[in-house]
Structure 1
Amino acid sequence: MKELTKAEEEVMQYLWQLDEAKVAEIIEQMPKPKPAYNTVSTIIRILEQKKFVDYKKQGRGHIYFPLVSKDEYSKASMNNLLNNYFDGNLKSMFSFFTKKNDINISDLEQILKELKKDQNE
């Protein structure tokens, strides 16, 4: 899966929230100062080329929708992070985040409890 730029990922975040939207509706959700219509429209076209977004015609305009789910992209991003920065070693990545975020034992226990719950579902 191709990686997204920060701007592309930001637009995708809004599109994932909305499920489908016109460019103007995406911009409406963005904080001020809002980007120019042409800027967001260009990003959407790039996302189309990268096969992250498609559209359906509505009148003279387009309604855009994601082709890649947020979960799919998150999983691919985490795998890239794991492989590119931690040589695919999950233990190294977890150790890094534990040290950098000053996680205590009760936090680790809570994380383990959540992981066990997820495995049982």
Structure 2
Amino acid sequence: MTNHNIKPTEGEMEILQVLWQKGNATVREVHEALNKKDSGYTTTLKLMQILHEKGMVERDTNQKTHIYKALVSQDKTEKQLVNKMIDNVFNGSAARLVMQALGNHTASADEIDEIKKYLDSLK
């Protein structure tokens, strides 16, 4: 059963991003991919256990080394987090979020073209 009200913490999001990229991974593989000098293996393990308890990842315990896999989709998780951010930070204004994002980061010409195509498709 997947969690419909996804609220991963920043640390949990980093782990989910590794799992989305790799598909399946052990705690050690995730920890190495995170490459965090300030965080130990046991911290990664604990966060992955919490993600499992939340129903956001599944754990295959058939082997000695447990294999984890994300149960929540990247697209759905991103949409829920963006919607939450629009509601909580930008008073429900998607336009303010987009303007803030584009104003703070230099978008490449390709990214701007992609954004224009997307905006045209919404008309």
For normalisation by structure 2, the TM-score amounts to 0.76
Q: Is residue 81 of structure 1 aligned with residue 85 of structure 2?
A: yes
Query: Alignment RMSD, CA only?
Result: 2.8
Residue 75 of structure 1 aligns to a residue whose secondary structure is helix
Q: Identical aligned pairs, as a percentage?
A: 30
How far apart, in 2, do the equivalents of 1:37 and 1:95 lie?
Answer: 38
Gaps of 5+ in 1: none
Q: Is residue 18 of structure 1 aligned with residue 22 of structure 2?
A: yes
For normalisation by structure 1, the TM-score amounts to 0.77
How far apart, in 2, do the equivalents of 1:36 and 1:101 lie?
Answer: 32
Cα contact 1:56–1:63 (8 A) shared by 2: yes
Gaps of 5+ in 2: none
How far apart, in 2, do the equivalents of 1:47 and 1:71 lie?
Answer: 17
Q: Is residue 68 of structure 1 aligned with residue 72 of structure 2?
A: yes
Q: Count the aligned residue pairs.
A: 116
- Cα deviation for residue 76 of structure 1 reads 0.5
- State the match for 2:51 in structure 1: 47
How far apart, in 2, do the equivalents of 1:91 and 1:72 lie?
Answer: 20
How far apart, in 1, do the equivalents of 2:32 and 2:79 lie?
Answer: 28
- Cα deviation for residue 44 of structure 1 reads 0.5
Give every structure 1 segment of 4 or more consecutive aligned residues whose post-TM-superposition deviation is greater than 6 Å.
Answer: 106-109
- Cα deviation for residue 93 of structure 1 reads 2.7
Q: 1:112 to 1:39 in 2, by over 3 A?
A: same
